[in-house]
Amino acid sequence: MIRMTSLAIGASLAILAAGAAYPQAQAQANRAEVIHWWTSGGESAAVQELANGYKAAGGTWVDNAIAGGESARAAAINRIVGGNPSTAAQFNTSQQFLDIVKGGMLNNVDDVARKNDWDKILPASILKAIKIDGHFYAVPVNIHMPAWFWYSKSAFEKAGIKAEPQTPDEFFAALDKLKAAGITPVAFGGQPWQEKIVFDALLAHIGGPDLYLKVYRDRDAKAIASPAFKNVLASFKRLKGYTDAGAPNRNWNDATSMVISGKAGVQIMGDWAKGEFQAAKQTAGKEFGCFPGFGPKSPYIISGDVFVFPKTADAAAIKSQQLLATVMTAPATQVAFNNKKGSIPIRTDVDAKSMDVCAQTGLRVMKDTARQLPNSEMLLPPDVGGEVQDIVTKYWNTNQSADDAAKAISAAIKG
């Protein structure tokens, strides 16, 4: 998690006030340098669709892919502070960019938002993240759901699992069958952010939406001390017994490959994982399956990616930023990009017939606003979210008790 210090913000504002401009090459008409962290096979194919859309609109896309979200965000912020910002930079749909908004370091995209009726077509949680003090400071490009369950059809068949689990008990029973069949039940990447994703998935699907919101939105100490929350912690630790010895520090896409090959049964991961299945020429509903939770009313955690546009007074750069914002949210680009990214479009007015069964499921669920939950990064400041992630990681990797973990989370969330 990256936060700008007041000293850094002050320094960058001084640079901007002194008239720092883009380099000469940056001022070329419709030239856009875009910082992002999409480097896996499926991600690279997806971002190319954004680039293709921009090129078709007369722009020149300059790709700057930096592996790892934290590294990419740090590079983008350092460029802003140094007076040499990119045209656009990727962040998550969260509070990650709130400090640079408050520091006056971003251009807004109000005109594009108004022309596309963002106030009407976007979910409330996304609007809250990108619309600050009445202005739109970020362009959402997708709606991700980080708590999907991906499974190998061949592994399920070998283990004798005939249906997707509809309850937590059925889920753990399926994992037992996979283990008995000699298949690694859970493909897991033991990295802090992945551990936190899985924890949040269990909090939403086992603890339930009310508990999830009491913990992250309300920061309710009684909820965190409750038996229901400790049951979530116990279920999370129980899951570790279904992972393999190679899990620690495994990349998420390598874990996805275990499901693709049938070596593992299930992965709990965001819908960006679907891009890896597609890159491996697998089809949803055929070689692999997906379900967003347990039962027909399971919660749907909303996450996603946005692009922000660093402050500049250069007319050519502003033109490039506006064109990027327009192209990224255009219906055709939305479908092409999200088809390969694994996510679903931010727009409700796109033709989604070409999208696969997983995306169709996501679009259908999104129509039920009662099932929508904001991701924890929308509800917690980055520093608090980072503390909670550290606690979850410690709990997963040590013999710490559920009681002690709950107490640590309660203290962190109090701030």
Per-residue pLDDT of the chain (415 residues; tens, 9 = 90+): 333 333 344 444 443 433 333 343 334 559 999 999 999 888 999 999 999 999 999 999 999 999 999 999 999 999 999 999 999 999 999 999 999 999 999 999 999 999 989 999 888 889 999 999 999 999 999 999 999 999 999 999 999 999 999 999 999 999 999 999 999 999 999 999 999 999 999 999 999 999 999 999 999 999 999 999 999 999 999 999 999 999 999 999 999 999 999 999 999 999 989 889 988 999 999 999 999 999 999 999 999 999 999 999 899 999 999 999 999 999 999 999 998 888 999 887 777 788 889 988 998 898 898 999 999 998 999 899 999 999 999 999 999 999 999 999 999 998 6
How far apart (Å, rounded) are the C-alpha atoms in residues 253 and 72? 18
Residue 415, pLDDT score: 64
Residue 275: per-residue pLDDT: 84
What pLDDT score does 28 carry? 56
**Residue 352: predicted pLDDT:** 76
* Cα angle, residue 201 at apex, residues 97 and 279 outer, rounded to 5°: 80
pLDDT of amino acid 26:
39
What value, to the nearest 5°, has the Cα angle with vertex 256 and ends 250 and 260?
A: 135
What does the pLDDT read at residue 29?
57
- What is residue 41's predicted lDDT score, i.e. its pLDDT? 85
Which pLDDT belongs to residue 161? 98
Residue pair 371/300 in contact (Cβ under 8 Å)? The answer is yes
Q: What are phi and psi of 268, to 5 degrees?
A: -95, 110
3-state secondary structure the chain: CCCCCHHHHHHHHHHHHCCCCCCHHHHCCCEEEEEECCCCHHHHHHHHHHHHHHHHCCCEEEEEECCCHHHHHHHHHHHHHCCCCCCEEEEECCCCCHHHHHCCCEECCHHHHHHCCHHHHCCHHHHHHHEECCEECCEECCEECCCEEEEEHHHHHHHCCCCCCCCHHHHHHHHHHHHHCCCEEECCCECHHHHHHHHHHHHHHHHCHHHHHHHHCCCCHHHHCCHHHHHHHHHHHHHHHHCCCCCECCCHHHHHHHHHCCCEEEEEECCCHHHHHHHCCCCECCCEEEECCCCCCCCEEEECEEEEEECCCCHHHHHHHHHHHHHHCCHHHHHHHHHHHCCECCCCCCCCCCCCHHHHHHHHHHCCHHHEEECHHHHCCHHHHHHHHHHHHHHHHCCCCHHHHHHHHHHHHHC
Q: 192-195, long-range: CB within 8 Å, 24+ apart, which pairs?
A: 192/389, 192/390, 192/392, 192/393, 193/69, 193/389, 194/252, 194/255, 194/269, 195/389, 195/392, 195/393, 195/396
